[in-house]
């Protein structure tokens, strides 16, 4: 007979919060913040914006490119809002991001340093890209599930606008100008300049649900990587050599780090289009079978989209797996918040959690793809 001590705890998201820096940046002024590369308007901006359908985004910089917030500061501000009515001491802080403020110390401990009121607690910093925030959530989930912790905070955040400013590409373009009369920034670099946004989101987890308001019980979380069979698709702090090998920034000279804009974010859009949807959403069908859950019965489907371009493609793959989720059950705030990478799923859940759209007993399916080398995390929540 299983003792009470050996039973697994239930885990609940009992509060959510978010922080978005400054004011919303609309498409008509976006290049005033990102800067004009080589003094001219981007040739690809309008095409990319038309496809991704993002109308507003947030930047932790001003028009002159000066930073207004660090990544750690944005997360700490989200956490302080999260804890306004909390009474239980926090035992764990798990912070995911793909854009920490520094290589060392870790992102998590820098966030902790902004929050001395938390006291001395366990801190972890999952690395990765869009999935890093979900890995932080899973670490928190399992810590409470096993009884190791009672309370935890997980976060996802990004601060990328600063690195996408035009001055970070200028030396590279000046070098190109010597052999090209009309240089254009490579599409794999310019593509992401009009996709990404800054911000932070946070969840408060506990082994006990709220008494007077709804909570979200975490039923299961599943993650998978296809790096064993798939090439690198999105990268930063590295680049491919002439043999197709990805080289670390450590293997470049100081001169080439600047001239080749090694620290800019790049994405192979051809590989992205071919792989990102099919790999993850075929796997979702297998995961739901494992948990005896019919995803067609979901009440709220929250897929992290980098662009609305992928919305129909996801639907097509789901339908090919006999998963029919009507459009009215889909929820995303990409158009008004932008693509905040690891923070996007937190911002979506926060907005839904604070809306009047949730009813007790409903299920929420989270789906987060990561294109860097094709990883995915899925999570099922129940409103209680």
pLDDT of residue 37: 78
- CATH number for 218-228+268-383: choose from 3.30.565.10, 3.40.47.10, 1.10.10.10, 3.30.460.80: 3.40.47.10
Is residue 179's pLDDT more than 60? Answer: no
Is the pLDDT higher at 78 or at 176? 78
Is the pLDDT higher at 294 or at 1? 294
Closest CA to 48 of 65, 23, 31, 71: 31
- Strand-pairing partners, residue 220, are 380
pLDDT of residue 173: 58
Sign of CA dihedral 260, 264, 269, 274: positive
Instruction: For 84-129, write each residue's pLDDT tens digit.
Output: 988 899 999 999 999 999 999 999 999 999 999 999 999 999 999 9
Q: d(Cα 83, Cα 132) in Å, to the nearest integer? A: 22
Closest CA to 198 of 72, 109, 292: 72
The separation between CA 235 and the C-alpha centre of its own chain, rounded to angstroms, equals 15
Instruction: For 23-54, write each residue's pLDDT tens digit.
Output: 999 999 999 999 987 778 888 888 889 989 99
Place of tokens 């994405």: 267
User: Average pLDDT in the 126-145 region?
Assistant: 97
Residue 39 region by backbone torsions, left for phi larger than 0, else alpha for psi between -120 and 50, else beta:
left
Q: Which CATH number is 8-215 given?
A: 3.40.47.10
pLDDT of residue 80: 98
Q: d(Cα 285, Cα 274) in Å, to the nearest integer? A: 19
- Supply φ then ψ for residue 242, to 5 degrees: -65, -15
CB 146, CB 6: distance < 8 Å: no
**What is the location of CATH 3.40.47.10 in the chain?**
8-215, 218-228+268-383
- Supply φ then ψ for residue 203, to 5 degrees: -120, 140
Question: Is beta strand 363-370 parallel, antiparallel or unpaired with respect to 122-124?
Answer: unpaired
**DSSP string covering 115-143, please?**
-GGG-S-EEE---SSTTHHHHHHHHHHHH
User: What's this model's pTM, rounded to 2 decimal places?
Assistant: 0.94
**Rg of the chain, C-alpha, whole Å:** 21
CB 252, CB 174: distance < 8 Å: no
């Amino acid at each position: 007979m299983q003792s009470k001590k050996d039973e697994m705890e239930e885990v609940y998201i009992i509060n959510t919060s978010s922080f978005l820096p400054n004011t919303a940046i609309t498409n008509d002024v976006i290049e005033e913040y990102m800067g004009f590369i080589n003094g001219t308007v981007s040739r690809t901006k309008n095409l990319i914006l038309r496809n991704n359908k993002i109308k507003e985004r947030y930047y932790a910089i001003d028009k002159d490119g000066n930073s207004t917030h660090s990544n750690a500061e944005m997360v700490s501000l989200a956490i302080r809002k999260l804890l306004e009515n909390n009474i239980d001491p926090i035992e764990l802080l798990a912070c995911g991001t793909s854009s920490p403020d520094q290589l060392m110390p870790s992102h998590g401990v820098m966030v902790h340093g902004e929050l001395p009121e938390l006291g001395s607690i366990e801190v972890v910093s999952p690395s990765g890209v869009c999935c890093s925030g979900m890995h932080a959530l899973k670490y928190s989930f399992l810590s409470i599930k096993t009884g190791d912790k009672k309370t935890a905070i997980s976060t996802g955040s990004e601060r990328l606008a600063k690195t996408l400013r035009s001055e970070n590409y200028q030396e590279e373009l000046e070098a190109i100008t010597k052999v090209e009369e009309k240089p254009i920034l490579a599409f794999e670099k310019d593509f992401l300049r009009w996709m990404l946004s800054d911000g932070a989101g946070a969840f408060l987890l506990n082994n006990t649900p709220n008494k007077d308001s709804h909570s979200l019980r975490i039923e299961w979380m599943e993650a998978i990587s296809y790096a064993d069979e798939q090439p690198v698709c999105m990268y930063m702090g590295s680049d491919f050599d002439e043999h197709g090998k990805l080289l670390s920034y450590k293997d470049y000279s100081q001169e080439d780090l600047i001239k080749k804009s090694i620290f800019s974010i790049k994405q192979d859009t051809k590989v992205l289009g071919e792989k990102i949807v099919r790999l993850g959403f075929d796997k979702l069908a297998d995961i739901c079978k494992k948990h005896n859950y019919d995803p067609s019965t979901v009440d709220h489907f929250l897929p992290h989209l980098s662009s609305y371009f992928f919305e129909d493609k996801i639907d097509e793959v789901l339908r090919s797996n006999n998963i029919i989720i009507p459009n009215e059950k889909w929820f995303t705030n990409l158009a008004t918040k932008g693509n905040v990478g690891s923070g996007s799923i937190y911002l979506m859940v926060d907005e839904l959690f604070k809306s009047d759209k949730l009813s007790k007993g409903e299920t929420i399916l989270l789906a987060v793809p990561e294109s860097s080398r094709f990883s995915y995390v899925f999570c099922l929540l129940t409103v209680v």
